Amino acid sequence: MLPQARAPHPGEIAIIDLADIDSPDPAKRARLAEEVAKASREVGFFYIVNHGIPAASVGRMFQSAEEFFSLPADDKNAVSISRSKLFRGYIPPNHIGVDQKLKANLQEAFQIHLDLPADDPDVAAGKPMHGPNPWPAAMPSLKPDMTAYQGQLWSLGQRMLPLFALGLGLPEDAFSPYFTKPMIMLRILHYPPQAPDDSTESIGTRAHTDTGVFTILAQDTVGGLEILTKGGDWMTVPPIPDSYVVNIGEMMKAWSDAIFSSTPHRVVNRYGLERYSVPFFVNPDYDTIFKPLVTNPAPTDLPQFHSSLDRTKNIKIGEWMVDLYSRIYPSPYKTAAAEKPLAAAQ
Ligand SMILES: O=C(O)CCC(=O)C(=O)O
Ligand SMILES: [Fe+2]
């Protein structure tokens, strides 16, 4: 049997209208920031509308996803993540990374980061996570379409960062220094449907927290995203037309000293249709050292996941991401830490 989830109560997941995001009126920006902060504290997930990304751009990404995942396996495997030292490319369904304690995901994925040319100084120096994206020869439109969309979503992400800063009582530009050559990531995902009596251990995406600062997710009309509420039950995040789902990741939780909640979530496609989604992850520069930028008077932490970040250890975030990615992906890049299964793996 598939695990169960309940529907949200009306208003339980806030729908935040971003119309005032660029308002010249500081009071309007502050009001919006407080809405974002409240949802980030209480749920860790919210919807945004009036975000400024044209529906046609989002539609093109879903078309691209359908087209890419329909390619013959050989064409997809030509850009397999197992050939990439930069954790980019195609991840087949049911893959298992180094850590055998982690359950396989049913999803298949294709992911890119910032595309950097060979003459970029960090690329030339062989800095991990920095370099070019791989593209499938069988689908020439994917490169221009995903690259353009990633640019649009990164602009939206940069417009949203001041809201989180303001919501924590920090100056609006408090996060800017950490995003000069960011490790942003765009993924397209495909989930096959699962029958209600499916007895496999696997689901679309196993329970996890997002590792980044925050995530901006486009989901199609099928549904399947579910979050673990503070009350301990699983709740669906139903699709709302023309919205994005935004959620707090481990890095924002660390910066906010756990004032903002990096809420565990999963995907169970129990709806009988193929599902596609397009998450964009706002990740900072490789060299960012993570420590809280504010003090939480009453920190409470949820259960630990394989994706949890310890904010007390002044971690250099790029190294932490490389360890985690080489643990969860079938990658040729293996760090010593990634060879050791995590005690907290779920
Ligand atoms: O596909 C989704 O709706 C969510 C995927 C997700 O949680 C992730 O990629 O981190
Ligand atoms: Fe996620």
Query: Which two tokens mark 258?
Result: 């756990």
More confident residue, 273 or 199: 273
Q: For residue 326, name the pLDDT band (cuts at 50, 70, 90).
A: confident
Summarised one tens digit per residue, pLDDT across range 144-192 is: 999 999 999 999 999 999 999 999 999 999 999 999 999 999 999 999 9
What number does the ligand 1 atom closest to the CA of 266 have? 7
What pLDDT sits at residue 306?
Answer: 75
Residue 343 has pLDDT above 70, yes or no: no
Check if the beta carbon of residue 276 is closer than 8 Å to that of residue 172: no
Residue 323 has pLDDT above 70, yes or no: yes
Summarised one tens digit per residue, pLDDT across range 104-124 is: 899 999 999 999 999 999 999
- Which whole number is the average pLDDT over 302-331? 86
- Which whole number is the average pLDDT over 49-57? 98
Mind listing the domains of the chain with CATH numbers? 15-339 (2.60.120.330)
Check if the beta carbon of residue 265 is closer than 8 Å to that of residue 183: no
What number does the ligand 1 atom closest to the CA of 204 have? 1
Q: Which residues surround ligand 2, an ion (CB under 5 A)?
A: 210
State which of 62, 263, 267 you would mutate to test the pocket of ligand 1, scoring each by most atoms of that ligand within 8 A of its C-beta.
Answer: 267
State which of 185, 243, 265, 281 you would mutate to test the pocket of ligand 1, scoring each by most atoms of that ligand within 8 A of its C-beta.
Answer: 265
Ligand 1, CB cutoff 6 Å, lining residues: 187, 189, 205, 210, 217, 219, 225, 265, 267, 277, 279
Q: How far apart, in whole angstroms, are the C-alpha atoms of residue 251 and residue 245?
A: 18
What pLDDT sits at residue 201?
Answer: 85
What number does the ligand 1 atom closest to the CA of 237 have? 3
Question: What's the CA-to-centroid distance between 205 and ligand 1, angstroms?
Answer: 7
- What ipTM, to 2 d.p.? 0.99
Q: Which residues pair with 139 in a beta bridge?
A: none
Question: What's the CA-to-centroid distance between 2 and ligand 1, angstroms?
Answer: 18
What number does the ligand 1 atom closest to the CA of 210 have? 10
| Segment among 146-150, 257-261, 289-293, 295-299 with least mean pLDDT | 295-299
What pLDDT sits at residue 345?
Answer: 41
- Which whole number is the average pLDDT over 61-65? 98
What pLDDT sits at residue 95?
Answer: 84
Chain centroid to Cα 60, Å, comes to: 20
- Least Cα distance to 105 among 88, 92, 90 occurs for 92
What number does the ligand 1 atom closest to the CA of 275 have? 1
CA-closest residue to ligand 1 atom 3: 225
What pLDDT sits at residue 346?
Answer: 41
What pLDDT sits at residue 342?
Answer: 56
What DSSP assignment string belongs to 309-326? Answer: --TTS-EEHHHHHHHHHH
Q: Map 280-305 to HEC letters.
A: EEECCCCCCEECCCCCCCCCCCCCCC
Q: For residue 339, name the pLDDT band (cuts at 50, 70, 90).
A: low
Query: Which two tokens mark 86?
Result: 């930069």
Question: What's the CA-to-centroid distance between 250 and ligand 1, angstroms?
Answer: 14
